[in-house]
């Protein structure tokens, strides 16, 4: 997405993405894959678990980024009430 688009348009795009069942289903599948890597790894495979954990954190940060964009409209409304 381009930076020049207004925040509210970005918020709507992000909200559409977060509400998309297929997209969120795929995100959950990726998360489960990383969790399975962690759970099913051998005790001596520390690096494998750490890489899976980093992948899981990256997916969570990715989703959180879009959730924060989607919430921008509510944040702006609350900001206007305060000031």
Q: Note the pLDDT tens digit of each residue in 20-55.
A: 999 999 999 999 999 999 999 999 999 999 999 999
Q: Average of pLDDT values for 67-82?
A: 77
All residues at 6 or more sequence positions from 5 whose CB lies less than 8 Å from its CB, including other chains = none
Task: Please give the Cα distance from 51 to 46 (Å, whole number).
Answer: 9
Res. 5 pLDDT band, cuts 50 70 90: low
Cα separations (Å) of 57 from 8, 51, 52?
27, 10, 9
The half-sphere exposure of 7 on its side-chain side, counting CA atoms within 13 A, is: 9
């Amino acid at each position: 997405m381009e930076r020049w688009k207004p925040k509210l348009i970005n918020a709507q795009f992000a909200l559409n993405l977060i509400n998309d069942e297929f997209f969120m289903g795929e995100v959950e599948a990726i998360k489960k894959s990383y969790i399975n890597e962690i759970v099913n790894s051998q005790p001596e495979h520390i690096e494998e678990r750490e890489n899976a954990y980093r992948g899981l954190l990256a997916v969570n940060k990715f989703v959180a980024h879009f959730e924060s964009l989607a919430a921008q409209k509510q944040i702006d409304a609350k900001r206007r009430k305060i000031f």
